[in-house]
Amino acid sequence: MFRSLDVTLAPTLARPTPPLGTLDTAQPESIYRHASVYSAFTSVYNVAGMPAMSVPFGHDGQGLPLGVHFGAPLGGEGVLLALAAQLEEAAPWGTAPGPA
């Protein structure tokens, strides 16, 4: 796939941001039950040991945070870091609008 792509782009979460407590790390069964549902796009990189990053990308209609996930081929950490720097310069992460 990376022969023709520099990076991949996907949402960080495969579903809308869950309410607080849904992914309760104190309850392992909660993580197992929800992990594959919410991490459908990110888990491939975790399992393969490939470089990836999730960065802020505004808020939904309820003011909950949204993110985008970028993946790169093995050894592509520099590309991701350069991309993160360019994204933050273009749209500083601390200035995202809150709920409407």
Kindly state whether residue 38 falls inside one of the protein's structural domains: yes
Q: Which tokens sit at 83? A: 């991309």
Q: Give the per-residue pLDDT at 20.
A: 76
> For residue 3, is it within any domain?
no
- Whether 96 maps to a domain, the answer reads no
Q: State residue 94's pLDDT score.
A: 67
Specify if 29 maps to a domain: yes
Percentages helix, strand, coil for the chain (3-state, rounded to 5) are 35, 20, 45
- Residue 18 lies in domain: 8-91
Domain-located, residue 54? yes
The most distant pair of C-alpha atoms in the chain lies apart, rounded to whole Å, by 42
Note whether residue 46 is domain-resident.
Answer: yes
Number of folded domains that form the chain: 1
Q: Is 63 domain-assigned?
A: yes
Tens of pLDDT along the chain (100 residues) come to 888 999 999 999 888 887 777 777 787 777 777 777 888 889 889 899 999 999 988 888 888 888 999 999 999 999 999 999 999 898 887 654 555 4
The per-residue pLDDT for 24 is 76
pLDDT at 23: 74
Whole-structure pTM value: 0.79
For residue 40, being part of any structural domain is answered with: yes
How high is the pLDDT of residue 27? 78
